[in-house]
Structure 1
Amino acid sequence: MMWYLVIIKALVPILMLCFPVILILSFLKTPWFKGVCGEFYVHVLAKIHLNKDKYHVLRNVTLPTTDGTTQIDHIIVSEYGVFVIETKNMKGWIFGGTHQRQWTQKIFKYTNKFQNPIHQNYKHVETLKSILELNDRQIFSVVVFVGSSTFKTDMPENVINGPGLIKYIKSKDQSVLFDADVQMILSKIEAERLVPSRKTTRAHIDHVKQIVAEKQTRLVHIGSGVATAIQLSDDRWSQDIEIEPAFTDSWENRSWQIDQVQTKFKDRAFP
């Protein structure tokens, strides 16, 4: 019996050391932490390589919308335009196109479907265009991937890997705003944005979760046309719609989401 107690006594300090290490490693792998790291990388990149007198960098801007809130990773304001940046911290091979509803991430045998980030950034751009009264020549949607990801399909010029962000921004060298416009835009954004806080972030997350819940339960017609409500529990679907939804302005823009629900239901019901 004594040898048993000796072993336990020897293992206790080892377990006490390993437990916090495991917790830290688990935390480092969370989507939240990866997202924060990706946004921090873009923020530092912009601060170091862009002239602070010409380019004004705003981070983590939450704006009110008609149906809740929308959260923008970065907004860069300059005389050359307003750059609305959506950041993705991902690794592996990335497949996608401008008009595809979903893009694909592949890491060896692992495959993940995620929402087209160009579509995701659409709502951000449209919200700012409305608030700031800008036209298409004065605002640019930018999607930047950080991490060890590689594009395996041709991407539009505004979808770039991290180091290419500065090159893309500096490629826009035609003045489209006066200095007075730049200052007015900065003032408007500061006036409209919600105060950065845990409460603001929590409210935005709750709003997104509410939309996710509404999307997960849909009415589909089966056979004779009898409508049945189903709850989708497919992990990939849940992962796809955890991010901020795009095209929430009208039913026409959202109709493709019903097509996806119907397809997934048919796949599950009729293998």
Structure 2
Amino acid sequence: MREFLLAFDGLEKQPIVYVIIFLVLLSFIYQAKRPAIRGAFGEWLVNRRLRKLGDEYHIFSDLYISDDNGGYTQVDHLIVSVYGIVVLETKNYSGWIFGSETQKYWTQVIYKNKNRFYNPIRQNYGHIQSLKHHLNKVNLPAESVIVFTGDAVLKMEQPFETSEVLTLGALRKYLLKERPRLLAEDEVGNICRNLKSLASLDAAERKRVKKLHLRGVKQKQKESVLSKRKVGETVIPVVEESPEALSQDSCPRCNHPLILRKGKYGDFIGCSAFPKCRYTMNKQA
């Protein structure tokens, strides 16, 4: 103990050591939280653009909406106006992005590295269905928009029919293009009042809802991964999930595929990007 105190006393006389330690710790924290930080930054960039649309556009961000299965879905951004509703899903990705409307997975290519991620059009379809269920409006004029906020280059060969896919730089121009009126002013007011009740949850209730949402996502991930057959170290899909499903067999931290691994205490599910990503979850019987 005395030696430790002497060493600590020596560090006090060298403040630069504290700076180095702080920077190292900061680096570790950033690496651990990088996916969440990048995602939050991307959504902040989008929200900043949306706030400049004008008073006739009502913006709602980071909403948890109940679905028809007793769970919750998380929506990045909603834009409500007399021109309808835009349900916006953000992806803060870099590199070349390949994918089509019907593919279950899209591909991100950065130099020689390729990563799969769940088709965001399918993901946003689930958000729209939950919104219609929550508002009790089957014919709600809701449009799907996927926006990539990083320095991504979209390499899609065919146009999309059920969703608009674009980069952040093209978002504002697209949203302000001439459109027909689809909702009356009183309908817009009713929808906004409903959504404001979701946005104004107190901290305790929001924490509870978020916990339920994450629990549902993890449960779906487990059910999906365990329903796939294993070939070597690769998990191959057996059953095609519905369009409402979230990314079921991708790591929630880095979007790499989840695979079945063998450990000292039995089988478990882990990220294929190990050791860069150490995400794991228990294998259910």
Smaller-chain TM-score range?
0.7 to 0.9
User: Could you tell me which residue of structure 1 aligns to residue 49 of structure 2?
Assistant: 45
Q: Percent identity?
A: 30
User: Could you tell me which residue of structure 2 aligns to residue 260 of structure 1?
Assistant: none
User: Could you tell me which residue of structure 1 aligns to residue 94 of structure 2?
Assistant: 91
- Shift of the alpha carbon at 1:134? 4.9
User: Could you tell me which residue of structure 1 aligns to residue 244 of structure 2?
Assistant: 247
Q: Could you tell me how far apart the structure 1 residues matched to 2:126 and 2:39 are?
A: 19
Contact (CA 8 Å) 2:60, 2:195: kept in 1 or not?
no
Contact (CA 8 Å) 2:78, 2:88: kept in 1 or not?
yes
- Cα 1:150–1:64 change in 2 (3 A) is same
- Shift of the alpha carbon at 1:153? 2.1
Give structure 2 stretches of 5+ with no counterpart. Answer: 1-5, 249-258, 261-285
Matches within 5 A, 1:4-15: 13-15=15-17
Q: What SS does the corresponding residue of 2:18 show, helix, strand or coil?
A: helix
User: Could you tell me which residue of structure 2 aligns to residue 65 of structure 1?
Assistant: 67
Contact (CA 8 Å) 2:97, 2:156: kept in 1 or not?
yes
Normalised TM-score (structure 2):
0.70
Q: Could you tell me how far apart the structure 1 residues matched to 2:65 and 2:149 are?
A: 24
**Aligned-CA RMSD value:** 3.4
User: Could you tell me which residue of structure 2 aligns to residue 261 of structure 1?
Assistant: none
Normalised TM-score (structure 1):
0.73
Q: What SS does the corresponding residue of 2:27 show, helix, strand or coil?
A: helix
Bigger fraction of residues in helix: 1
Q: Deviation per CA, 1:65-104, whole angstroms, max 9, x where unpaired?
A: 1331100000000000100000000111101111111000
User: Could you tell me which residue of structure 2 aligns to residue 226 of structure 1?
Assistant: none
- Cα 1:135–1:109 change in 2 (3 A) is same
Matches within 5 A, 1:116-131: 116-131=119-134
Contact (CA 8 Å) 1:59, 1:75: kept in 2 or not?
yes
User: Could you tell me which residue of structure 2 aligns to residue 18 of structure 1?
Assistant: 20
- Count of aligned pairs between the two proteins: 228
Give the counterpart letter for 1:124 in structure 2: H
Runs (4 or more) in structure 1 with deviation over 6 Å come to 230-233
Per mean C-alpha deviation after superposition, the further-off stretch among 156-165 and 65-74 is: 156-165
